Structure 1
Amino acid sequence: MTFSPFRIDVSDEVLDDLRARLARTRFTDRSGDQPWQAGADPDYLRHLVSYWVDGFDWRAREAELNALPHYQAKIGGRRMHFLRVPGARPAGAPAPLPLILSHGWPSSFVEMLPLVDRLTDPAKYGNDPADAFDVVVPSLPGFLYSELPKGPLTRASMAQTLHLLMTDVLGYQRYGAFGGDVGGVVTGWLGALYPEQVAGVHMIHPPFPASFDSHPMSPAEQAYLDAEAAYDESDGGYGAIMGTRPDTIAAALNDSPAGLAAWLVDKYRDWSDNHGDLESRFDRDTLLTIITLYWTSGAIGSSFRQYFDFHHNSPRPNITVPAAFTVSTEPSHANFPREIAERACTDIRHWSEPGRGGHFMPLEEPDLLAAELTQFFTSLRPY
């Protein structure tokens, strides 16, 4: 398979239409007594939309993104977008291990960019240049510039696509994989399906086993599952609608940029380690870069497909390759017991609970996460 360069190129007409829609936004009133109590806070949304219209410089961000090496390939007849950044290895050093970094929802390849420089050129950050990696960052199928497959979008099918990208398209014989959220589940599937080629897997969201039937659950496991179910009572509405009526909500979000922003920033605030202050973790330019990518690609609806097709997923085999975890601090993963992951993984080499960094940890704590990735994957030498 071959691949070719790709550029992000948003027309002036699309940007003019976006600004016109934003200028006509009809804002709602707050439902609860407190900001963010009932979802995206209307006052914050007004603030963000105003900046989107008058302060945000998409062309500058577009140029920054296009300074990176973007590519596209056809896999299974469908377009796949990815970045590929070679490691800056010293002369005479062994070839760097390739790493594929997979984002989740509601995210994009932008989430992984702070890791790219730290992993490909560690000397720039005062670290050992021999620890450089080759880095590949895909847009998962259905996200931004990567097309949906012809059949159901399952975790296994996404893993198969990423494996073909790494092996058939890019020619790597062996590689490591990292991910969070959906990208983390896909990372687990890579380790389960391709143990001969996958050197190890690293995730911020530890996996569940295909079944809890092998032995009785511990009190810690039961307490976690009960707490997760309770949290879903207040947070699970987004998933319920995207899993049952995705076309209904996609019609609204694909027509209203302010609505799209509300849908996304609600989760960036709820799931990150920001202590109630969204912009303490993500500046407005970063948030609006991600939102503008979703808007201009028209991909919000296709990003829901992995929810709608969830029932097509089959049980995942055990993950037998070396595994590492830097556990997210987001509410749904508070007090996640290692024994649940041990039911799914037979070779956990590293388990870290740093107490900071949430669902979007590559953006939130890039130095911490780059160090953990480097520590784990260099420990697997020779690859």
Structure 2
Amino acid sequence: MPRISDDVQPFEAHATDADLEDLRARLAAARLPEAETVHRAAPDPRRWDQGVPLADLVDLVDYWRTEYDWRSFEARLNRIGQYRTTIDGLGIHFLHRRSERPDAVPLILTHGWPGSVAEFVDIVEELADPSDAGAPAFHVVAPSLPGFGYSDKPATTGWGIEKIAAAWVELMGRLGYDKFLAHGGDWGGVITTVLGGRFPEHVLGIHTLTPQAPPGLTTDGLTAAEIAWTEETRDFWGHRAAYAKQQATRPQTIGYSLVDSPVGLLAWILDKFAEWTDTEDSPFERVSRDRILDDVTLYWLTGTGASAARIYYESHDSLDPELRVEVPSALTVYPRDVEKCPRGWAERRFREIVWWGVPEVGGHFPSLEVPGEFVADLRGGLGAVLGVRAVLERGQ
């Protein structure tokens, strides 16, 4: 077992009863707007054309206030194992679950926005100690991004994707993992790309749900389906990404609402779960109310609505156009994700693609929407990465 640095300290999540009572009181006293002026009967995704429908929000707020059990989720976090360490003056929180398997490989999982480590709670155990003895096993590390969850909130600018990737290398080293695999989606996928491109001496290979091509590529040579992908992605960034522009330019302004109003925070995040999941009407077709509220309540209790939004201010459109990833890469594009990159474009950045996954179902949050399929894809992709590494090592 590798030696863990003395700088790493155990951590337990425990909200005060007063904080939970305050949350319920704010929910009970919420002042809501009138209903949207788009009236459609469920099921119909167009019900959400003006944002979260009032009836859906009222139901979820009532459930959050009267039935949702934060203590259950809090206990699950504590059972996995939580820790904190300070890197470049900032406290970083992370889950760490070591496998019992002697052949396990270190793996860092990085979430995005509006996600959190809550995205991984349901899959950590299966990744660390799989029920199938023939499946690969991993020592799982899942950090909270700076400004998210139980990580500290940066007090100065500078914590963008490059610095975060470097901090993850330092974190893994403190845990005794000099070489490791990396996975991520959304911002986590971009950070994972930076890890693979900047730190090949430490990163065995990567799996990302957010492959991004260098800018300026044309659609010449793409299939009709791939051209449709590019059109959908362009439409998303052109017409449905106001949230990103707001958080990239004025995160402090929206932050007041996200930190002061639990209903405002819920609506801001629920809107993304609704639009970005593989559903026909409501995100609850794929993701339970409890799982969404685990994520939202974590933001609320840690007061991180504003600090998490600032990752857009720090990093929007900041991926180095010249960055190339030479380590073995597994890339997966889910059918209902909001940003889809054709393989031909991805090959311009990722120089050794060993796995190209296009599942039949799933959207932007596959670990919550389709956890079984997600774990199978992640294992398949990382298994392909490890297979290539083994061949390379035998040839040396």
TM-score past 0.5 threshold: yes
Q: d(CA) in 2 for partners of 1:378 and 1:225?
A: 29
Q: d(CA) in 2 for partners of 1:130 and 1:258?
A: 42
Q: In structure 2, which of residues 333, 348, 353 is the aligned counterpart of residue 348 of structure 1? A: 353
**Which residue of structure 1 lines up, in the alignment, with residue 166 of structure 2?**
160
Shift of residue 148, structure 1, vs aligned partner: 4.1
Look up the equivalent residue of 1:238 and give its one-letter code: Y
Asked if 1:322 is matched to 2:328, the reply is: yes
The equivalences for 1:183-332 within 5 A come to: 183-209=188-214, 211-212=215-216, 217-219=220-222, 224-310=229-315, 313=318, 315=320, 317-332=323-338
Q: In structure 2, which of residues 24, 27, 34 is the aligned counterpart of residue 22 of structure 1? A: 27
**Which residue of structure 1 lines up, in the alignment, with residue 113 of structure 2?**
105
Kindly provide the CA deviation profile for residues 288-327 of structure 1, in whole angstroms up to 9, marking residues without a partner as x: 1111110000001011111112368361510110001121
Asked if 1:49 is matched to 2:61, the reply is: yes
Asked if 1:138 is matched to 2:157, the reply is: no
Q: In structure 1, which of residues 115, 118, 122 is the aligned counterpart of residue 123 of structure 2? A: 115
Q: d(CA) in 1 for partners of 2:238 and 2:39?
A: 20
**Which residue of structure 2 lines up, in the alignment, with residue 36 of structure 1?**
48
Q: Which sits farther off after the overlay, 281-290 or 28-37? A: 28-37
Shift of residue 219, structure 1, vs aligned partner: 4.8
**Which residue of structure 2 lines up, in the alignment, with residue 83 of structure 1?**
95
**Which residue of structure 2 lines up, in the alignment, with residue 368 of structure 1?**
373
**Which residue of structure 2 lines up, in the alignment, with residue 70 of structure 1?**
82
5+ residue gaps, structure 2:
41-46
**Which residue of structure 1 lines up, in the alignment, with residue 339 of structure 2?**
333
Q: d(CA) in 2 for partners of 1:173 and 1:207?
A: 26
Q: d(CA) in 2 for partners of 1:183 and 1:155?
A: 9
Shift of residue 157, structure 1, vs aligned partner: 1.0
Q: Which sits farther off after the overlay, 217-226 or 310-319? A: 217-226
Q: d(CA) in 2 for partners of 1:108 and 1:33?
A: 33
6 and 116 in structure 1: CA distance in 2 versus 1, 3 angstrom threshold: same
129 and 73 in structure 1: CA distance in 2 versus 1, 3 angstrom threshold: farther
5+ residue gaps, structure 1:
none
Structure 1 length normalisation: TM-score?
A: 0.91
Shift of residue 226, structure 1, vs aligned partner: 3.8
Kindly provide the CA deviation profile for residues 228-259 of structure 1, in whole angstroms up to 9, marking residues without a partner as x: 22233331111111111111111012111011
Q: d(CA) in 2 for partners of 1:286 and 1:331?
A: 19
Q: d(CA) in 2 for partners of 1:337 and 1:362?
A: 22
Answer yes or no: is the 8 Å Cα contact 2:76–2:121 preserved in 1: no
**Which residue of structure 1 lines up, in the alignment, with residue 43 of structure 2?**
none
Superposition CA RMSD, Å: 2.0
**Which residue of structure 2 lines up, in the alignment, with residue 11 of structure 1?**
16
Q: d(CA) in 2 for partners of 1:189 and 1:243?
A: 20
Q: d(CA) in 2 for partners of 1:111 and 1:99?
A: 15
Kindly provide the CA deviation profile for residues 112-150 of structure 1, in whole angstroms up to 9, marking residues without a partner as x: 122211111112xxx125621111011111111112444
What is the aligned residue count?
Answer: 372
Q: d(CA) in 1 for partners of 2:53 and 2:72?
A: 28
217 and 142 in structure 1: CA distance in 2 versus 1, 3 angstrom threshold: farther
Look up the equivalent residue of 2:83 and give its one-letter code: Y
